[in-house]
Amino acid sequence: MVPMQTIGLVRSPYTETAHIPRGPGAQHDAEGVLDILPEFEEGLTDIEGFSHLFVLWIFDRAAGYELLVTPPTATRPHGVFATRAPRRPNPIGLTVVQVLRREGPRLHVRGIDMLDGSPILDLKPYLSSVPADQLKRGWLAEAQAHR
Amino acid sequence: MVPMQTIGLVRSPYTETAHIPRGPGAQHDAEGVLDILPEFEEGLTDIEGFSHLFVLWIFDRAAGYELLVTPPTATRPHGVFATRAPRRPNPIGLTVVQVLRREGPRLHVRGIDMLDGSPILDLKPYLSSVPADQLKRGWLAEAQAHR
């Protein structure tokens, strides 16, 4: 398999998983910094023109995985690929953040839901979205109806 | 770094990069199959309740990377993290697909933009979107204005 390398670290107000807002309707307004390693800074050229980015990062404090999981928001077990649970076969997290400003290799963003120090693998522009009327939210809609 | 493992392969009509529609306004209506390995099938439980999924996959035919790239749609070089170019420090692709149906470990989807045989790393439910009026599209909007 392709070896993955850290391109930077997340600077987050969250140092414990329990502090991160979770579940349907959770607001991710936390601000933080995507601290990109100097050797990758050139790759950020023009990134501040995008309002939102995808951040691919590693759940580095998750160990192992289960194929059936019951997230905090769920009423019964679901397949791990139908959830955002951290203990996945490849522990990659995906977060959409809003770009606030860039200071050289440091991107200040809003919408942090990672633990402080999480390794970053990639950044990509967030370009488009699926119209709301075409979106189905699977077991999450069902779980919310039970709340 | 965390070792990554293939959880399945993309079955795509595209066998050459040149055949994949690219650029602003490119329509990705191609249908294909996410062929998940049998040992991970249980992880798909309830996934058919979601209309759209994120697919994380490997640009396995991309070699090396450049920090400044000029995509086909661009008028000048941009930082690789401000593009979707395949030659990235970590060659991970991210595609949103629409779920058509599931047959055991085979997920039939629409919206394929990967080459046939691309290794899959992860699937995640696509849950929400950034409202269109809050989205800025950076250099892509500028490149489109020049066409």
pLDDT tens per residue, range A86-107: 999 999 999 999 999 999 999 9
Q: How confident is the model at residue A22 (pLDDT cuts 50, 70, 90)?
A: confident
Q: Do A84 and B126 touch (CB under 8 A)?
A: no
Contact A46 B122 (CB under 8 A): no
End-to-end CA distance of chain A: 42
A100 touches chain B (CB under 8 A): no
Sign of the C-alpha dihedral computed for residues A6, A10, A16 and A20 taken in this order:
negative
Which residues on A lie below 8 Å from B89 (Cβ)?
5, 7, 40, 43, 122
Instruction: Specify the pTM.
Output: 0.90
- Spell out the per-residue pLDDT of chain B, length 147, in tens: 667 999 999 999 999 988 888 765 677 789 999 999 999 999 999 999 888 899 999 999 998 999 999 987 788 899 999 999 999 999 999 999 999 999 999 999 999 999 999 999 999 998 766 666 766 766 767 666 765
Please check the confidence at residue A9 and state whether its pLDDT lies above 80: yes
Three state DSSP letters for chain B? CCCCCCCEEEECCCCCHHHCCCCCCCCCCCEEEEEECHHHHHHHCCHHHECEEEEEEECCCCCCCCCEECCCCCCCCEEHHHCCCCCCCCCEEEEEEEEEEEECCEEEEECCCCCCCCEEEEEEECCCCCCHHHCCEHHHHHHHHCC
Contacts of B90 in chain A (CB under 8 A): 2, 4-5, 7, 56, 121-122
pLDDT of residue A3: 79
Would you state the pLDDT for residue A1? 61
Give the per-residue pLDDT at A147.
Answer: 58
Residue found by looking up tokens 């990509």 in the block:
A124
Shortest Cα distance, chain A CAs vs residue B89, angstroms: 7
Q: What is the pLDDT of residue A25?
A: 62
pLDDT of residue B27: 74
Band of residue A130 on the pLDDT scale cut at 50, 70, 90:
low
By the CB < 8 Å criterion, does A42 face chain B? yes
Asked if the C-beta of B144 comes within 8 angstroms of chain A's C-beta atoms, the answer is: no
pLDDT of residue B29: 87
Q: What is the mean pLDDT of residues A31-41?
A: 98
**Contact: A138, B77; criterion CB under 8 Å:** no
Closest to A47 in 3D by CA, of B83, B52, B77: B83
Contact of B45 with chain A, judged by CB distance below 8 Å, is answered with: yes
Residue in A28, A42, A81 to test binding to B, most B beta-carbons within 10 Å: A81
- Are the beta carbons of B104 and B43 closer than 8 angstroms? no
Higher pLDDT, A32 or B52: A32
A127–B contact, CB cutoff 8 A: yes
| Assembly ipTM | 0.90
What would the pLDDT profile of A38-89 be if each residue is shown by its tens digit? 999 999 999 998 888 999 999 999 989 999 999 887 888 999 999 999 999 9
CA atoms within 13 A on the CB side of A52: 18
pLDDT above 90 coverage of chain A, percent: 65
Written as six digits, the tokens of A20 are 């991160």
| Range A16-23, long-range pairs (CB < 8 A, 24+ positions) | A16/A115, A17/A61, A17/A115, A20/A113, A20/A115, A21/A113, A22/A71, A22/A72, A22/A73, A23/A72, A23/A73
d(CA B11, CA B14): 9
pLDDT at residue B109, as a whole number: 96
Residues 8-37 of A with CB under 8 A from B: none
Tell me how far apart the alpha carbons of residues A117 and A13 are, in angstroms, rounded to a whole number.
10
Q: Provide the pLDDT for residue A103.
A: 97
Instruction: Locate the chain A residue with the closest alpha carbon to B68.
Output: A43
